[in-house]
Amino acid sequence: MRLFVAIELADTARLEVLKVVDELSAIHNKQRFVSPDNLHFTLKFLGEVPEDKIAAVENAVAESVNGIKPFIVRTQDLGFFGSRRSARVVWVGTSKGMEEIIQIARKLDSRLSAFRKDEREPSPHITICRPLGETSKLIEDVEKMKFAELGEMLVTAIKLKKSTLTPKGAVYEDVRTFELI
């Protein structure tokens, strides 16, 4: 299974992020925007994991979130990874809750490094677009929205998710939910 660990957006946060996505996609309709159902904060991408290792992954995720209480995340700010002309990802960031997300991501990376070790420090974000081709105009419009405040949500669970790649994009399914208590 192709797996990752994520924080899903609450409906209210999803709606606020979708307003930005709708505004950008109306202007840049040739770009590849993320499906509304697929908006999330990735905590750890694992890639292909053999079926017989899934229980070990679940145990590592459970250990990583053990003792972490529900917390508030504020979604705000837009940005991009890559260059202005060739951005790889357009994202929505976070301010409040960033420390908690980074803490969980680091624990996950430590406990799951046998599957995949992250080379970079965690950078909490929601991918909203994976641009195609030249991106200068898109990034110009992203920068106009750079300081957008998109609301808050209470994070009460972390999810282990399966990603199936299809010609129409990735389809995500929950494998297991880990409640924060």
Q: What is the pLDDT of residues 153-170, one digit of tens each?
A: 999 999 999 999 999 888
What is the CATH topology of the domain spanning 2-179?
Answer: Cyclic Phosphodiesterase; Chain: A, (3.90.1140)
- Residue 16 contacts residue 150 (beta carbons within 8 Å): yes
Whether residue 163 contacts residue 3, with contact meaning beta carbons closer than 8 Å, is answered with yes
Contact of 158 with 24, CB cutoff 8 Å: no
- pTM for the complete prediction? 0.93
Number of Cβ within 10 Å of residue 69's Cβ equals 9
Domain ranges in the chain? 2-179
Confidence of residue 149 (pLDDT cuts 50, 70, 90): confident
Q: Which residues are catalytically annotated?
A: 40, 125
Q: State how far the Cα of 71 lies from the Cα of 21, in Å rounded to an integer.
A: 25
- Tell me which amino acid residue 150 is: L
| Residue pLDDT, tens place only, 134-143 | 999 999 999 9
For 33, which DSSP code? B
* pLDDT tens, position by position, 3-27: 999 999 999 999 999 999 999 999 9
Please state, in angstroms and rounded to a whole number, the distance separating the CA atoms of residues 82 and 173: 29
The answer to whether residues 124 and 101 touch, using CB atoms and an 8 Å cutoff, is: yes
